[in-house]
Amino acid sequence: MNKERFFQRSLMAWYKPSDRPLPWKSIQNPYHIWLSEIILQQTRVEQGMNYYLRFVEAYPCIQDLAAAPDDEVMKRWEGLGYYSRARNLLAAARYVANELNGVFPESYEGILAMKGVGSYTAAAIASFAFNLPHAVLDGNVFRVLARFFGISTPQDSTTGKKQFSQLADSLLDQEVPGLYNQAIMDFGATVCLPRNPKCQQCPMIDQCVAFNEKRIAELPVKSKKIVKTTRFFHYLILNHQEQVYVQKREGKDIWQDLYQFPLLETASLEMEWPDLHQRIQENWMGLKLSTLRAGTQVFQQILTHQVVNVRFWELELSAIESNLPENWIQIRREELGLYAFPRVIDRYLKDDTLYLNLL
């Protein structure tokens, strides 16, 4: 038996769908499968599960999702991160509802045309929902294939992508592509783990190149290192007549369409109140302000390409002598829960040692 056949046979013999039951497994509903796949992009199963269940309950069919207000969907997505997924989810739902008469596309190409769906997600949906022969290729699959076959071509290079893609296609079980895709994804998620893979439980250990040549730690290979930029945010919580101000983040930047407090971005967080006050006056003249408490400790949120360091300032706004920016919305504190905020703001708001009973 050649190596490819051994791999496919061993994987399918190992796979027992009932070992890892998940609500989106063993179903054929393409809308539910699509929802689960979008939620699970960049998100662990344990974290995504509740979101999936809540979305299915709130929007049982794609028309329900298409008809939902943007802010409501963003609020439901809150805490999952990578918010462009939620925006694309809505755009794709509306595309299906309005352009395709509510009928979910049934071909790989049709699925790929939906916003936010790349080749991996299209292959997953096409194979799970319609049993179409398209092999999935995600981080789990790259890792398993690189290790078992001993491939050191960088997975993110043009040559690597082609090599892995051809290999993944040749390994696909054409009879049951959906089951095979589930098998390789589950295998990567539970046995061939990124760190400390469970090789002693692996049915392919005898023929695994990485194991036999002690190259597990060096495979898979990636050529590009992600360079992160560091940013510094001062969030101003302007208390005025028992209300505070929030604004929607707009433009092409992180956290698009989420809400935040008025923001001053600076080159560092080392700033005392007089300096910060001066910067506020330069930006928004005419605000009469005093501090209710010194800036908080630094809160941090780490994103794929950025590290955002944040300090929160509770301020009392006693008078406004000029127009406020148009997108500042004045709300009561108890209404803060209605808005979707980035995780770092949520953490601040939930830390009741910091601000509750302040006023």
User: Which residues form the interface with ligand SF4 (CB under 6 A)?
Assistant: 144, 147-148, 191-192, 197, 199, 202, 204-205, 208, 210-211, 216
Phi, psi of 290 (to 5 degrees): -140, 160
Known catalytic residue at 242: no
Torsion sign (Cα): 278, 280, 285, 286 = negative
Work out how close the CB of 189 gets to ligand SF4 at its nearest, in angstroms, rounded to a whole number. 12
- CA dist list (Å): 240 to 101, 163, 338: 48, 61, 19
Residue 116 is classified by DSSP as T
Residue in 4, 37, 218, 270 annotated catalytic: 37
Report the residue number, 181 or 239, with the smaller CB distance to ligand SF4. 181
Report the residue number, 182 or 301, with the smaller CB distance to ligand SF4. 182
Report the residue number, 128 or 164, with the smaller CB distance to ligand SF4. 164
Report helix, strand or coil for 260. Answer: strand
Buried b vs exposed e over 57-96: b needs ≥16 C-beta within 10 Å?
Answer: eebeebbebbebeeeebbbbbbebbebebbbbbbebbbbb
Spatial separation of the C-alpha atoms in residues 145 and 340, rounded to whole Å: 39
Report the residue number, 61 or 189, with the smaller CB distance to ligand SF4. 189
Work out how close the CB of 119 gets to ligand SF4 at its nearest, in angstroms, rounded to a whole number. 23
Task: Label residue 16 exposed, middle or buried (CB < 10 Å: 0-12, 13-18, 19+).
Answer: exposed
CB 34 within 8 A of CB 122: no
Work out how close the CB of 196 gets to ligand SF4 at its nearest, in angstroms, rounded to a whole number. 10
Report the residue number, 15 or 95, with the smaller CB distance to ligand SF4. 15
How do 243-248 and 259-260 pair as beta strands? Answer: antiparallel
Work out how close the CB of 209 gets to ligand SF4 at its nearest, in angstroms, rounded to a whole number. 8
Report the residue number, 207 or 309, with the smaller CB distance to ligand SF4. 207
Report helix, strand or coil for 193. Answer: coil
**Could you tell me which residues come within 8 angstroms of residue 166 by beta carbon, excluding any fewer than 6 positions away?**
none
Work out how close the CB of 188 gets to ligand SF4 at its nearest, in angstroms, rounded to a whole number. 8
Residue 86 is classified by DSSP as H
CB 90 within 8 A of CB 68: yes
Work out how close the CB of 128 gets to ligand SF4 at its nearest, in angstroms, rounded to a whole number. 23
Q: Just list the catalytic residues.
A: 37
